[in-house]
Amino acid sequence: MVVPATNRYLAGLLRACRLLLDWLSDLLWGRLLCQDHRPLPPISDVLLLDTASALADKIRTGKVTSEQVVQVYKKRAEEVNGILNCYVDTR
Q: Which residues contact 81 (CB under 8 A, 6 or more apart)?
A: 87
Verify that 46 and 30 share a domain, yes or no.
no
How much is the CA Rg of the chain, to the nearest whole Å? 24
- The whole-angstrom separation of Cα 52 and Cα 75 is 17
Domain count, the chain: 2
Verify that 7 and 47 share a domain, yes or no.
no
Torsion, Cα of 17, 21, 24, 29 (10° steps): -170
Verify that 56 and 90 share a domain, yes or no.
yes
Q: Which domain holds residue 30?
A: 1-36
pLDDT tens for the chain, residues 1 to 91: 556 778 888 989 999 999 999 988 888 877 666 666 778 899 999 999 999 999 999 999 999 999 999 999 999 988 888 877 776 666 6
Verify that 14 and 55 share a domain, yes or no.
no
Q: What is the reported pTM?
A: 0.58
- The whole-angstrom separation of Cα 22 and Cα 14 is 12
Verify that 46 and 32 share a domain, yes or no.
no
Task: Give me the pLDDT at residue 28, please.
Answer: 81
